[in-house]
Amino acid sequence: MTTGRTIIGTIGNDTLIGTQFDDVIIGNGGNDVIRDLTGGNNSIEAGDGNDSISTGTGNDTIRAGAGNDVINDQGGNNNIDGGDGNDRITTGAGNDVINGGLGDDIINAGNGFNDISGGDGNDRITTGNGNDLIRGGLGDDGIASGAGNDRVFGGDGQDTVNAGTGADTVYGQLGDDFLFGEDGGDFLFGDDGADQITGGFGDDFMSGGFGDDTINTHSDAVVSSVPEKDTLFGGVGADVFNLQSNYTAGKQLPTSTGDQSYAILQDFNLGEGDTLNLIDPVGSYTFLQGDFDGDGVVSDTFITQFFTNGSILTQNLVAIVRNVTPLDLTTSGAVNQIV
């Protein structure tokens, strides 16, 4: 550590320039411009006002204070607090700790293992590659995590989460949330509220929680080269399960002569008004009674479909509905085939 300067502004609108060393910069009041781009591990207290703060690749600590602040950091392991106000925070590569604070913040974190809290307000949070921890907080947040095994907590409000590539774990928490798993074996929990949950490529675990939830498997025109086995829990409420075309016969591996991708509906509940939609069918379905877990109780429904693979007629498993017999399932009106 090389001690730099202590630079103190006034209550007015100051321009404060740091050195290449470890500076302490205090803006006090006013709409300040603070620049410390030449390196060093800096400590910056901007104070109240609409401040513009730019730092280099050192490990900086930044407290922006109240106001609509703009913070740009080029890299390093930073600790940043936006304070009250609608802040815009952008960081480069590094393991950052970022707190947006009160207000509608826009946070763009670079590659690294980031710990991000949006705080209260309708925040927009985007991260790069790395195993990030993201908390949206109170408000209707939009969160997009990059590649990596991320953990995301939406918080209170109607949040939209795009989990990105990786084995992500997402909790919508309170509110009517929209959760998208994208690529990777994800764990998606809607929690409280009428949530919309959509898996992507990979073996996804999707749970609606409390509320009338809609759970969607992904639909893609490109055949996946990796088989998918998704596990679906509706939870409490009248849930809708939409099984998209990635399970149907036309979307299996081109050389396959057996089952590749299917869904397991663990808690389909006719009494709660659950609905199963089989979307983009290419033929008729067969409902067979069987024993999924081998416990000797033959009470599960196996939904299959026949298709032609070259000159071979192949039976394809689409879904398994646990603890519901084919008779109960097909006579209840809870299953729909949608072209």
Domain extents in the chain: 3-338
Element (H, E) at 326: helix 326-331
β partners of residue 81: 63, 99
Quick one: average pLDDT of 300-325?
A: 85
Buried b or exposed e, range 23-59, using 16+ CB within 10 angstroms: bbbbbbbbbbbbbbbbbbbbbbbbbbbbbbbbbbbbb
Q: How far apart are CA 2 and CA 23, in angstroms?
A: 9
Of 33-42, 48-57, 115-124, 131-140, minimum mean pLDDT range: 33-42
Over residues 117-126, the mean pLDDT reads: 98
Query: Residue 272 has what DSSP assignment?
Result: G
**Domain 3-338: CATH architecture, name and number where available:** 3 Solenoid (2.160)
At a CB cut-off of 8 Å and minimum separation 6, what does 310 contact? none
So what's the pLDDT on residue 285? 86
Sign of the alpha-carbon dihedral angle for 126, 183, 246, 332: negative
Residue 256 has pLDDT above 70, yes or no: no
Q: Give CA 121 to chain center in angstroms.
A: 18
Which of residues 14 and 251 earns the better pLDDT score?
14
The set of residues, in sequence order, having a beta carbon less than 8 Å from that of 271 and lying 6+ positions away, is: none
pLDDT at 224 over 80: no
Would you list the DSSP string of 211-245? S--EEE----SSPPSS--EEEEE--SS--EEEE-T
* Residue 133 and residue 112 in contact, taking contact as beta carbons nearer than 8 Å: no
Query: Is the model's pLDDT at 208 over the cut of 60?
Result: yes
The percentage of the chain sitting over the pLDDT mark of 90, rounded to a whole number, equals: 78
Averaged pLDDT of the chain:
91
Q: How far apart are CA 6 and CA 27, in angstroms?
A: 11
CA-nearest of 223, 176, 221 to 197 is 176
Give the model's pLDDT for residue 189. Answer: 99
Whose CA is closest to 140, among 153, 125, 127, 121?
121
Whole-angstrom distance, CA of residue 297 vs CA of residue 290: 8
- Strand-pair partners of 216: 198, 242
Let me know the angle formed at the C-alpha of 88 by 64 and 178, rounded to the nearest 5 degrees. Answer: 125
pLDDT band at 221; cut points 50, 70, 90: very low
